[in-house]
Amino acid sequence: MSIFDILETRRSIRQYQDTPVEPEKLRQILEAMRLCPSARNMQDWKFFAVTDPAVKERIAAATGASPAMIAGAPVVLVAAGNNDRVMNCGHRCCSVDLTIAMTAGVLAATELGLGSCLVGSHDEETVREALGLPEGWHVPLISPLGYPAESPAPRPRKAFDEVAEIR
């Protein structure tokens, strides 16, 4: 599957089969995340594929979107970073770096036949504590991960000319 096929077929999945995700697939997803670029190549991050039901429940309870979606997935994918540096453009390096890594992770998951849904409606402190991370670590995004139990239709996208320009 080409990257363009992956981008066209990826969907936000909110219902998952009760099928465990193979450890080798989790390793491939985490490796895709690890290989991503980071500001100044600092790699101030740690990636988690959470399968422990108790930890997943704690993370789900911290999520405003849909706790059942998080707890019902076989895995919760988490990217955490530990720096507060701000780029010249005003954005925190950590947030940008981890968003890049999570995007690579969910695209790799699609390639491997898995579904995901990027979520940012969680209480960061609760997720950090559930993972045993010290204060100062940031968790901008999490994602449930597993084999889809649904096949949502593509969402409408704006026309190319409405959102892109070649200058």
- Concatenated DSSP letters for 109-138? HHHTT-EE--B--B-HHHHHHHTTPPTT-E
Question: Is residue 117 situated within a structural domain?
Answer: yes
Is 137 in contact with 82 (CB distance < 8 Å)? yes
pLDDT higher than 90, residue 163: yes
Q: How confident is the model at residue 65 (pLDDT cuts 50, 70, 90)?
A: low
Q: Give pLDDT, residue 93.
A: 85
With tokens 């699609």, the residue in question is 110
Number of structural domains, the chain?
Answer: 1
Could you give the 3-state DSSP secondary structure of residue 45?
strand
Question: Is residue 15 situated within a structural domain?
Answer: yes
Q: Give pLDDT, residue 86.
A: 86
Question: Is residue 125 situated within a structural domain?
Answer: yes
Residues in a beta bridge with 80: 46
Can you give the residue range of the structural domain that contains 44?
3-148
Average pLDDT over the chain reads 95
Question: Is residue 160 situated within a structural domain?
Answer: no
pLDDT, average across residues 27-47: 96
In this structure, what CATH number is given to the domain that contains residue 11?
3.40.109.10
pLDDT higher than 90, residue 62: yes
Question: Is residue 28 situated within a structural domain?
Answer: yes
CA distance 145 to 33: 14
CA distance 102 to 77: 8
pLDDT higher than 90, residue 80: yes
Question: Is residue 156 situated within a structural domain?
Answer: no
Crossing angle of helices 23-34/93-111, nearest 10°?
A: 140
